[in-house]
Structure 1
Amino acid sequence: MNSVVFDAIKALLDEGKTPTVALTKSRLAQPVPMPMIIAAVSQYKNNPDSINNFMRNPQQSDNTELKTSQLDRIEQKLDTLLALLEQK
């Protein structure tokens, strides 16, 4: 999962608030795809201890985050190309 999302969830927990998708999204320091936010909040709700496990092992998540952002950029380029092809 994305460390930025878990940082936002941790901030909400520190304030005594229950993390929701909307609250988490409002606390993000940078843009994150909605599916990643939903997955992180769902993961937290299913296993509240997962936030503690993540905070202990953020290195593993950063690699996944890089791959995900790279995939997002590729998908955006593909969508743009497909839109251009459909116009012709």
Structure 2
Amino acid sequence: MSAHEIIRIANELAAKGLTPTTAMIKARLTQPVPMAELLKVLSQWKQQPIATAESEILPEAVPQPAPELTLQQLAEQLARIEQKVDRLTDLFLQQRQG
């Protein structure tokens, strides 16, 4: 996670028109990071800031597919919904008459 945070901070600084430095990033980190890792990630970011940012952020941004429901589960869900609609219809008709 620390690489993601380093890249996020570097991108934020760059968006503000600042050149990210190790000191600026280290001051904004939420958790301690080994200096070697900070230097490595910042060096990679400086070589390809846009590519690094996209490759690091994209996996988190991809939504996970919802689990597929079986036909049986869908039929049960439909039956529950139909029961609720029937109850609501009955309540509506009772209020309308009374």
Task: Please give the TM-score of this superposition, normalised by the length of structure 2.
Answer: 0.51
Query: What displacement does 1:19 show?
Result: 1.1
Query: What displacement does 1:46 show?
Result: 1.2
**What residue is the counterpart of 1:9 in the other structure?**
10
Is residue 47 of structure 1 aligned with residue 48 of structure 2?
yes
Whichever residue aligns with residue 9 of structure 1, its letter is A
For 1:52 and 1:16, the matched residues in 2 are separated by: 19
Task: Please give the TM-score of this superposition, normalised by the length of structure 1.
Answer: 0.56
The structure with more radius of gyration: 2
Identity of aligned residues (%): 31
Larger RCO of the pair (alpha carbons < 8 Å, separation 6+): 1
Whichever residue aligns with residue 55 of structure 2, its letter is N
What is the RMSD computed on CA atoms of the aligned residues? Answer: 2.0
Does the 8 A contact of 1:13 with 1:19 survive in 2?
Answer: yes
Q: Deviations over 1:39-86 (max 9, x none)?
A: 111001111221222111249xxxxxxxxxxxxxxxxxxxxxxxxxxx
Deviation beyond 4 Å, 4+ runs, structure 1: none
Count of equivalent residues: 59
